[in-house]
Amino acid sequence: MNIISSRCVKIREVTRVTPFFDSTASTNDNPLPSTALALTYFDTKWFKFPPVQRLFFYRNQTSDTDSIRFNSEILPQLKHSLSLALLHYLPLAGHIMWPELEPKPAVYYFPDQKCDGVSFVVAESSDADFDRVSGDGIREAAEYHPLVPQFSITEDKAEVIAIQITLFPNQGFSIGVSAHHAVLDGKSTTLFIKSWAYLCKQLKLQQQQQQQEQTYLPPELTPCFDRTVVKDPDGIDLIYLKHWMSGSSSNRRSLNVMPVKPENYYSNLVRMTFELNREDINKLRDKVNEVLYSTQGGAQYLSSFVITCAHVFVWLVKARDVEANTTVRFVITTDCRSRLDPPIPANYFGNCTGGEFGEAKASGFMQENGFAFVAHKLSDLIKGIKRGAVLGSEDEFLNGMAKMREAQQLKISVAGSNRFDVYGSDFGWGRPEKVEVVSIDTTGAISLAETRDGCGGFEIGVVLEKQQMEVFASLFVDALKDL
């Protein structure tokens, strides 16, 4: 088994890709601010969070990924289509800055040839087994670190996004993305990746058919940058900033994010991917409702999301082997685009998420009907989210985050969603073989995505210590066998 390390991933090129400006290029009728994109309270709440890192693996199609063809065809198409995509996503080619006279930071960019561009790294991993690293089996968590780009953040200036393409000769390639959490949530990052993929696939077809380039995006992929749709009459954006600034001992306007763990922290961590198909979820739902009917006199509707999270949470607590009186704190992130009053566009670009916090003693997870206990608790938590009830929740969010940082407790959070359609990111060489959220090994979250077959299941990414993972995998699989 060849383990990926920084020694076996060779950097071949480091450059910047800028938006493709010329006299013939045109974009959708999508007005943007002249030089700055404001940060809303949905953004400033994540101001100091480390970048979110994602990996998309694409399998070799015939001989497409031998080094010669990759460098002469695939890589130029990826670069050029990225420059076309940035025409629609100009703020990504800028930087976060906080001018001295401004009350809050913003994304500053130039809507012309002066644009800073996006960091673009090309690397090669000649020794790695692509099937293994893009598979579901056990892998060392740190293996993915050399496949995602380093992020440039200083006290005065921070990149918005960075890209790394890594070739696995004659096997495939990966696209690593690091995104600043104060600018993009998971839905916006996926929107950008799918837009880039759409333009790359179109570019490939146009070149094959010798047609003129088209730079338009379909409406569902066209980002909405209108910040006026997010109402903030009480200045919640500044409340979140004040919270982050209070933790800065020197430069209160520093753009530096919270430090990540040292590399040796990951030495005993491994990751695996698990799946729940639609049949599994239905059987698990029936199992919960049998318990609820016998204990509460009636069943209730439980979403597939609730069933999936409850199934994973229960086995996580048991695998970590904590004391029964340990407090388990968990947070569920919800997309607020449809929950605002009035709702904002589904293609709104930026952060637009809320966090709902819950807690219970580990004994509740460990009891015989622990699965039903957790499912019921999660369902009640989500039902408590009311449309339009986002404003005024800043104290709850800050208090919840403070509790999540307390010691002597078990923390569980969720990254991603089965609604993002990450496996729809086809650049012209087929759907991704695998999509991973790399940064869950830092945050301790689990990751969720739709299953690759598109049949309504969930794909779950988990990072644990190796011994804990062995226990978790056994519990997860055995529970499904017993249905």
Structure confidence at residue 390 (pLDDT): 60
- Mean pLDDT over residues 43-52, rounded? 95
- Can you tell me which residue has the tokens 């299941």? 457
Structure confidence at residue 68 (pLDDT): 83
DSSP states of 115-153 as a string?
---EEEEEEEESSS-HHHHTSSS-EEGGGGGGGS----B
439, 106, 471, 161: which is closest to 315 by C-alpha?
Answer: 471
DSSP states of 189-201 as a string?
HHHHHHHHHHHHH
At 450, which helix (H) or strand (E)?
Answer: strand 446-450
DSSP states of 213-233 as a string?
P-----GGGS-B--GGGS--T
User: What's the half-sphere exposure (Cβ side, CA atoms, 13 Å) at 434?
Assistant: 25
Other CB atoms within 10 A of residue 420 CB: 21
Task: Encode pLDDT of 269-320 as tens digits.
Answer: 999 999 999 999 999 999 999 998 888 777 788 999 999 999 999 999 999 9
The set of catalytic residues is 181, 426
Instruction: Give the type of residue at 110.
Output: F
CATH tag for 264-481 (out of 2.60.40.10, 3.30.559.10, 3.30.70.890, 3.90.320.10): 3.30.559.10
Structure confidence at residue 322 (pLDDT): 93
| Rounded distance between C-alpha atoms, residue 462 and residue 19, angstroms | 36
Structure confidence at residue 33 (pLDDT): 47
Residue 265 has pLDDT above 80, yes or no: yes
Same fold, 9-261 and 264-481: yes
Question: What does the longest C-alpha to C-alpha distance in the chain come to?
Answer: 70
SS3 340: coil
Strands 118-125 and 9-17: antiparallel
- Mean pLDDT over residues 232-253, rounded? 86
- Mean pLDDT over residues 362-367, rounded? 96
For 434, counting Cβ atoms within 10 Å of its Cβ (0-12 exposed, 13-18 middle, 19+ buried), the class is buried
Q: Are 75 and 122 in contact (CB under 8 A)?
A: yes
Torsion of the alpha carbons at 153, 184, 56 and 450, rounded to the nearest 10: 150
| Rounded distance between C-alpha atoms, residue 25 and residue 366, angstroms | 60
**9-261: CATH topology:** Chloramphenicol Acetyltransferase (3.30.559)
Q: How far is CA 61 from CA 183, 198, 206, 329, 430, in A?
A: 34, 18, 19, 44, 8
Structure confidence at residue 381 (pLDDT): 87
330 Cβ partners below 8 Å, 6+ apart?
A: 313, 357, 358, 359, 411, 412, 413
| Rounded distance between C-alpha atoms, residue 17 and residue 99, angstroms | 25
Q: Are 8 and 145 in contact (CB under 8 A)?
A: no
379, 345, 378: which is closest to 359 by C-alpha?
Answer: 378
Residue 432 phi, psi (nearest 5):
-60, 140
Structure confidence at residue 292 (pLDDT): 84
So where are the chain's domains?
Answer: 9-261, 264-481
Task: Encode pLDDT of 450-482 as tens digits.
Answer: 999 989 999 999 999 999 999 999 999 999 998
When pLDDT is cut at 50, 70 and 90, the band that residue 382 belongs to is: confident
- Please tell me what DSSP assigns to residue 348: B
| Rounded distance between C-alpha atoms, residue 42 and residue 53, angstroms | 19
